Amino acid sequence: MASVSDNVMKFFRSSSNAAGPATPQKLSRRSSGMGEISRLLNSQEGLCVLDMGATSANNIRFFTGKGHKNYSEDLLRSSLDPALRMQDSEGKTVLDSKKFLDENLVYPNAHFDVVLCWNLPDYMEESLVKPTVDRLWSVMKPGGVLLAFFHTRDAGPDSTCYRYHATGTEMLDMQEVKFAAPGRPASEKVSPRLQRVFNNRHIENLFRDFASIKFFLARDSIREVLVVR
């Protein structure tokens, strides 16, 4: 039987780079979805913003500097907690989505005006994606907006997982995500692996409870989705 550590490693790319640069290189990309979110953040004050990427000082600086309240919650990292793994009736290792949502995204209903989901759905274990989106629907205010990025079919499984830093415009700074996998040495930083590719129908189903959905197809094999609760 595979160990917990082996099961966890399917979420990471095999090309670990322990000797990589201390500070990963920053790239940037134009984001139409972030452009719309930036206009909203620049024109209003006191919004509640949930950033679901890795902790970003840039984002906290930008959001709080505009007078918004910033909430950080790195759900990808939380989803890799070995304590979430359990055996189903057939002996397969599955994730306990109930436990996951008992420990994460615990907020009052209708709390957030803006949710930055980034590329989380593409890299998260599939059984957690729909429950997470359902929880997001609950904690977002009616009229609140959510931004998510989905890879298109052209992206390969070794597509780099990036974290995104807001700049206040439609440009986003990007930085490769690497962290120590549970059960592995802390010095062994690995990158998350793309778990699947959602097509338009899947994405529409995922957000079917939301009021509206808008797609932006970018050149870098990314489909941006702006959803209104």
Partner 1 sequence: MDAPQTGEFAHIGKSVVIKGELSGSEDLYVDGKVEGKIELRNHSLTVGPNGNVAADVSAKSVVIQGKLDGSVIASDRVELKKSAVVNGDVTTQRIAIEEGAFLKGKVDIQKESGKAAVPASV
State the Cα–Cα distance between residues 122 and 212, nearest whole angstrom: 21
Compare residues 31 and 70 and give the one whose CB is closer to partner 1.
70
Compare residues 54 and 161 and give the one whose CB is closer to partner 1.
54
Q: How far is the CB of 193 from partner 1 (least distance, A)?
A: 21
Compare residues 23 and 43 and give the one whose CB is closer to partner 1.
23
Record the tokens describing residue 40, joined without a space.
């909203």
Q: How far is the CB of 72 from partner 1 (least distance, A)?
A: 5
Compare residues 65 and 157 and give the one whose CB is closer to partner 1.
65
State the Cα–Cα distance between residues 226 and 124, nearest whole angstrom: 19
CA proximity to 79, closest of 135, 140, 28: 135
Question: Which residues fall within 8 angstroms of residue 201, CB to CB, at 6 or more apart?
Answer: none
Q: How far is the CB of 91 from partner 1 (least distance, A)?
A: 32
Integer-rounded Cα Rg, in Å, for the chain is: 17
Q: Which residues bind partner 1 (CB under 8 A)?
A: 23, 54-55, 57-58, 60-61, 64-65, 69-74, 77-78
Record the tokens describing residue 200, joined without a space.
């338009």
- Compute the CA torsion angle 191, 186, 104, 32 (nearest 10 deg): -30
Compare residues 74 and 224 and give the one whose CB is closer to partner 1.
74
Q: How far is the CB of 89 from partner 1 (least distance, A)?
A: 32
Compare residues 116 and 206 and give the one whose CB is closer to partner 1.
116
Q: How far is the CB of 65 from partner 1 (least distance, A)?
A: 4
How far, CA to CA in Å, does 69 sit from each of 35, 42, 78, 176?
19, 13, 22, 26
Compare residues 177 and 222 and give the one whose CB is closer to partner 1.
177
State the Cα–Cα distance between residues 95 and 55, nearest whole angstrom: 24
State the Cα–Cα distance between residues 177 and 77, nearest whole angstrom: 10
Q: How far is the CB of 211 from partner 1 (least distance, A)?
A: 26
Q: How far is the CB of 173 from partner 1 (least distance, A)?
A: 12
Handedness of CA 12, 160, 174, 228 (dihedral sign): negative
